Structure 1
Amino acid sequence: MARVALVLAFFFAQSVVVDSQDKMSESVKLTMKQGLIMNQVLAIYALDNVEDPRCKNHTDLFKNGLRRFEPWALKMFDSSSKIQPGILLGNLVEFGNFKQCIQTRFNEIKGKHCLMKITPDLDLIKTILRFRNVTEKRFAKIRLIVEKSALFWSVCVPAACPNSDVARHFNKTIMEMSDGLNLVVSLDDKHCQTMESEEKMGLTQYVSISILLVPVAAGLVSTVVVPHTRNSLALAFSIPSNYRKIVSRRSHNDLDCIHGLRFLSTCYVVIGHRFLMAMFSPVINGLEILDWIQYYSSTIIIGGTICVDTFFLMSGLLVSVGFFQHVTKTGKFNPLTFYLYRYFRITPTLAIVVLIYATLIQFFGSGPLWYDTCEAHLKPCRYYWWSTLLHVQSYVNPGALVPPEASLKSLMIVSFQCVLQTWYLTCDMTFYYFSPLVLYPLWKWRVLGLVTYAATYFFSLSISFYLAWVNEYEGGMPITNQLFETEYFQRHYITPHTRAPPYIIGLGFGYCLFKLNGEKIKMSTFTKATGWVLSATLMATSVVSCHIFQLEDYDYNRLEASLFISCSRSTWTAGVVWIVWSCVNGCGGLINDFLSCFMFRVLGRLSYGIFLLHLILQLFKNAANKTPIYFSNFTTIFDSLADLSLTILVSFFFTLFYELPLTALEGLLLKTKKVAPDN
């Protein structure tokens, strides 16, 4: 078919450019060989045995138009896929030309873009992988990546033709062309799109936009009113007031290094998610990813999921310090205030993002994958918004099915959760709810508190080990584009009872810092050097150790994998604890100066917005792609920096108009002071 396309392009270049309707009706004389090739083209791309009268008429017009090289017919043919190069390198997705197809018009004829899925059997996949020297042993390790691989092929047909006729014709055509191969050709109705397929805004969307504009309007009005009044409500929305909060140099405690750790960890998350998008999106060199995951450089990304535990540590640390400062000052603990403060500090801002996902994201773009991406991330927010806002989705949603309409699972990231990354908030809020069970005994009964603390930590560690052992999880994160459907992700990676150890370490660390009451602990040079070396070793080992599980010659060891899964996050956390400890005790040197610099204070205040918003940009940038991408470290890091730059900009305004005003309103409504530092 590539040869056919080349011949037709040559024909078109040789033909006279048609400027008038009269000339369009003139036939183009073809030689016998050219006529045979044209017949082959029409046999493939023009539907046959069509029952629908309107479709038959439009198909006949398309055939005649292509024989005459009429521009509209050439556009439709040009928009259809031809056999792409690099299939043996993993170039499995050919989108044709989506925009050109749906924009094609000729009298009543309109173009319709259909994306078909051609699924090979496992034996054919193994045969192709042998060209990459993939052995049976290696195949067992990468099976999750390749077992659902499929070729995606696009055609442009008249919009009047029923999808059933399109599916029948191309199923017959492709099966004839691939005689001897065990293939299954399928076409989902939702993967045929026309210009009219694009959803139009309705009342729900206009209401959502109005809600989103209220804080912006309030900010503009308050900016005018505040100079003439000290009204607390107006001050909450004041743009200058909130801007000063973002760029403030004030520090409320000695934990300034937290700002740098928070922002750098957020950057790590954004970069990791961009690599995830790149690996699991249509790429022209998909099989090179199989080689990439065996390089040590890839371990920085594959093992980088551990950076989330830095957030758990910091959250536990700040909650612990805030709790003991509060109860020491007031002499009492009010559970209702404790819980309400945290819930309303986090949830209203999250609700804004859930609203965007549930009602507006489908209007951000278009493309062959746009519908599927929206279905995978919009419907969970429509169905499970309540579990997201109640912070229980890690327990409520994992058994939920992805909407059946989202069938291109091999081409995109699908999720059962509303706002994918908020599994972290579910864990963090669960830890916060249960933290008094550890903190209160430490305050009232020190010995009992220490026993409770140790028992809680080892209990969570034991659960993690037990689940990894009985389910025989491979060490580290599974590398598969079906990641979010794996049992490991749903039952271990995102569940609070397995992710608690770093948070518990943070609670204990916060208690130690509080008891020191600002006292600096003197350490010898040897102790400092040993601590830094040990910290670097623990953190590096926690990341790099997962590499061994990706190697072809590694034989699965149940005990080794279970220990890594359950303990690696605690060892990473221990390394971060030393960094914070050194900075607090004045031993951080240049590292403390770097992490505590003013730039990170500002960016750290934007981190929550970056966390909530970055995946919107990443997911829907991928969904709007009209061609596959090329996967490499350079291009992905380049895209990551673009993600960060744009997300920081958007998060600045998000924080200015939404997060800070909503936080101020929470303080006014509850009429209470903070019981824990912001984290």
Structure 2
Amino acid sequence: MKPENVLDAWAKLPAGIFQGNTIDLGNYDECHKVDHETGNETVGRIQGRYCQMTIPLNLSSLQARQFPSDNGNNGLTLQLGTCFPATCEASQLNSIFNSSIAGVVTLPKITFTCETPLPGLGAKEVTAIVIFSIVVVLLLFSTMYEVIMLLSSRQPNPNLVMFSIYTNGVKLLRISERPPQNQPKSNQIDCLNGIRVISMVWIVFCHNYMMLFFAPLVNKVAIFDWIKSYHSMLVVGGTVSVDSFFLLSGLLVCWSLLKELDKNRRLNLPVMYLHRYLRLTPALAALMLLSTTLLKYGGSGPMWKNMVVLMEDSCEKYWWSALLYLQNYVNPTEICLGHSWYLSVDMQLFILSPLVIYPLWRWGRKILYVIAVLILLSMGCVIAAFLINNLRLAFVDSGKHPKDKNRQVLVYYPTHIRMGAWLIGVMLGYIMHLTKHRIVRLSKVVCISGWLISLSIMLAILLGDYPLQQPDTYADHPVVVDAIYEATNRIVWAGCLAWIVFACVNGYGGPINTFLSLPIWQPLGKLSYSIYLLHVPIQTMLLGSLRSTGYFSDIVAAHNFWGDFGLTVTISILWCLAFESPMVGLEKLLFGRFLKPKPNTVALVEEQKTEHQQNGSTENIITRDPV
């Protein structure tokens, strides 16, 4: 292209600045296509280099309040995409522009950030290519071997089909039969499948909105009007879906360990912990490897470096704490794969679970009082954090606190804060364990009242956040109101969901249990871990590759969601077949001879595998809050 395309690629002053249209990305691709040989030895070859110019806006405090908070700057900057010759550096542009306009007009300091070329393939990138290539070869070889053996009517070697797409695909799509209607209880808790999938879809839906908030929008101020609508609470209050997963996790861990204690009267902790680690870590480690090596080559765009390359930086620095599941305490402000904070909390609770569940098995109901005290202490920590740091729940208040003192770090990531819903799940697991061989009889009044109260409270929890989120009035009430709401809403949500599970298991679920137990939930439930891992990186890549300013509305968000979710499910199938499903056989092959667990411990592992296929094991209980 000709040199004049350098100027043509520049952004123009956007219309509707007071509606939040403060970003014009220019023409990113036109700038990169500039490549002109001038024939002049002094000037030489002209190539385009994309830069972003940031101009702070001097708005009044009243005007500033009308802009959604964005990374702590309250949206008060004008960002314009520009194009310069590739020989120009950001420092030179900063000096030239600020000195040139200083004597002409009074403007705040202008800053430039210029795109730098991606580095070539290094040792870590080559290593990643080799590792992923080996996995692909294993998948192809194992699948071809099994197909050949089946066509020749011979029995394949189990060790050679652990990576088979055919075998693992059949397991993934297999739907277990529901127990007969006249059998009130079984080890198969069908309703958990529906709860898990609905919660996961809810999470992806909420994160889809969060990504839209971070995108350049022509009507960013419309987010304020959206928050004033009641249906927005489905997104803003959607963080309770995390507590749904914590409840299910506590329930399944307690259920499994109590059965093991009944059989063996002890727990084989090394086997239990190793089994858990090996089931969770390979898929996470593979995604971390991809994020730190090859993901940056998967696209481009004006925001690509800010959105995608930053993931590489945090994972390079804190890969070890991610693999040790300590990120929520060690590096809460720079989490590798931001949504993986949940895995750290869940793993820590799993490691500590024998300290709660063994006493519960040994001394019975007395320990329920101890659990209740732990829940109250957790709630007290939330209230203290809010009052000490003057925290607010309002979405528009985010970014107004130091990075290490914001609400996410203080009251969202810590295990001691989030353990309440998990402990409710443990209590539910204990109650279900006590009543597993009994028919629980509830009167019609109790049953109807339980359903009406639980569903009404869950709706109230979602809508109760409404007055605390209003951008014009959220600061008019004392901080203690936010503190009490945040301390109680998660626990109460988990308690209401516990009633739903208990009622469904004991035959009082009616049409809700029928819906939650639909067979279609089973395959999606088995994919929930891979969906959890992949959906945020996929959404981040899509956001980073944007070329133009977007428009905010619920219709746009819904359209984006179905695209995000469909793409995530598709890639999750491949990810599950490559890094999740083979781990069962690989674990036996590598460690079976050395561990040699007691027969009852083997039974526990097999029960957990069955739950993975039927109910979804605790390894599949995953989610997260907006990154």
In 2, are the aligned partners of 1:520 and 1:586 still within 8 Å (CA)?
no
- Code of the residue aligned with 2:217 in structure 1: it is V
TM-score, normalised to structure 2, is 0.87
CA positional deviation for 1:79: 0.4
* Aligned residue in 1 for 2:180: none
Q: Please state whether the residue corresponding to 2:110 is helix, strand or coil.
A: strand
* Aligned residue in 2 for 1:362: 296
CA positional deviation for 1:565: 1.0
Select which of 132, 150, 153 maps to 2:77.
150
Select which of 512, 531, 538 maps to 2:457.
538
Structure 2 unaligned spans of 5+ = 38-44, 178-185, 612-616, 619-627
In 2, are the aligned partners of 1:282 and 1:629 still within 8 Å (CA)?
yes
- Code of the residue aligned with 2:320 in structure 1: it is W
CA positional deviation for 1:201: 2.6
Q: Please state whether the residue corresponding to 2:375 is helix, strand or coil.
A: helix
* 1:317-360 CA distance string (max 9 Å, x none): 00010111112122321122222221222112211111111111
Q: After the TM superposition, which residues 237-636 of structure 1 pair with which residues of structure 2 at under 5 Å, given as runs?
A: 237-250=163-176, 253-398=187-332, 416-475=334-393, 480=398, 485=403, 487-551=406-470, 552-554=472-474, 555-636=476-557
Q: Please state whether the residue corresponding to 1:255 is helix, strand or coil.
A: coil
**Distance change (3 Å), C-alpha of 1:172 and 1:95:** farther
* Aligned residue in 2 for 1:87: 17
* Aligned residue in 2 for 1:119: 56
CA distance in 2 between counterparts of 1:527 and 1:173 reads 77
Mark the structure with the bigger radius of gyration. Answer: 1
In 2, are the aligned partners of 1:344 and 1:666 still within 8 Å (CA)?
yes
CA distance in 2 between counterparts of 1:314 and 1:483 reads 33
* 1:74-133 CA distance string (max 9 Å, x none): 322210112111111111111110111111121111112211111234xx1536458xxx
- Code of the residue aligned with 1:239 in structure 2: it is I
* 1:282-340 CA distance string (max 9 Å, x none): 11111121222222121111111111000000000000101111121223211222222
- Code of the residue aligned with 1:248 in structure 2: it is R
Q: Please state whether the residue corresponding to 2:109 is helix, strand or coil.
A: strand
CA distance in 2 between counterparts of 1:594 and 1:483 reads 43
Select which of 117, 128, 136 maps to 1:208.
128
**Distance change (3 Å), C-alpha of 1:220 and 1:125:** farther
Q: Which moved more, 1:370-379 or 1:304-313?
A: 370-379
Select which of 180, 185, 188 maps to 2:110.
185
Q: Please state whether the residue corresponding to 1:341 is helix, strand or coil.
A: helix
**Distance change (3 Å), C-alpha of 1:596 and 1:142:** same
State the structure with bigger RCO (CA 8 A, min sep 6), 1 or 2: 2
* Aligned residue in 1 for 2:625: none
CA distance in 2 between counterparts of 1:358 and 1:163 reads 26
Q: Which moved more, 1:596-605 or 1:204-213?
A: 204-213
- Code of the residue aligned with 1:385 in structure 2: it is W
**Distance change (3 Å), C-alpha of 1:144 and 1:75:** closer
Q: After the TM superposition, which residues 644-663 of structure 1 pair with which residues of structure 2 at under 5 Å, given as runs?
A: 644-663=565-584
In 2, are the aligned partners of 1:439 and 1:449 still within 8 Å (CA)?
no
In 2, are the aligned partners of 1:317 and 1:509 still within 8 Å (CA)?
yes
* Aligned residue in 1 for 2:623: none
CA distance in 2 between counterparts of 1:261 and 1:471 reads 35
Q: Which moved more, 1:252-261 or 1:387-396?
A: 252-261
Select which of 217, 225, 245 maps to 2:137.
217
**Distance change (3 Å), C-alpha of 1:184 and 1:337:** same
Q: Which moved more, 1:423-432 or 1:336-345?
A: 336-345
**Distance change (3 Å), C-alpha of 1:144 and 1:506:** same
CA distance in 1 between counterparts of 2:30 and 2:172 reads 45
* 1:169-194 CA distance string (max 9 Å, x none): 333566677x345x221113xx245x
**Distance change (3 Å), C-alpha of 1:127 and 1:530:** closer
CA positional deviation for 1:442: 1.1
CA positional deviation for 1:258: 0.7
**Distance change (3 Å), C-alpha of 1:581 and 1:212:** same
TM-score, normalised to structure 1, is 0.80
CA distance in 2 between counterparts of 1:329 and 1:160 reads 73
**Distance change (3 Å), C-alpha of 1:209 and 1:192:** closer
In 2, are the aligned partners of 1:535 and 1:575 still within 8 Å (CA)?
yes
In 1, are the aligned partners of 2:527 and 2:576 still within 8 Å (CA)?
yes
CA positional deviation for 1:662: 2.0
* Aligned residue in 2 for 1:640: 561
Q: Please state whether the residue corresponding to 1:309 is helix, strand or coil.
A: helix
**Distance change (3 Å), C-alpha of 1:514 and 1:640:** same
In 1, are the aligned partners of 2:64 and 2:74 still within 8 Å (CA)?
no
* Aligned residue in 1 for 2:183: none
CA distance in 1 between counterparts of 2:580 and 2:488 reads 35
Is 1:164 aligned with 2:57?
Answer: no
**Distance change (3 Å), C-alpha of 1:617 and 1:522:** same
Identical amino acids, percent of aligned pairs = 31
CA distance in 2 between counterparts of 1:590 and 1:517 reads 22
**Distance change (3 Å), C-alpha of 1:368 and 1:509:** same
Q: Which moved more, 1:212-221 or 1:640-649?
A: 212-221
CA distance in 2 between counterparts of 1:620 and 1:302 reads 23
In 2, are the aligned partners of 1:303 and 1:477 still within 8 Å (CA)?
no
In 1, are the aligned partners of 2:386 and 2:480 still within 8 Å (CA)?
no
Q: Please state whether the residue corresponding to 1:236 is helix, strand or coil.
A: coil
CA positional deviation for 1:510: 0.5
Q: What is the total number of aligned residue pairs between the two structures?
A: 576
RMSD: 2.3
CA positional deviation for 1:143: 9.4
In 2, are the aligned partners of 1:614 and 1:643 still within 8 Å (CA)?
yes
Q: Please state whether the residue corresponding to 1:458 is helix, strand or coil.
A: helix
Q: Please state whether the residue corresponding to 1:304 is helix, strand or coil.
A: coil
* 1:446-491 CA distance string (max 9 Å, x none): 2543333223222222222222232232136565468993521112
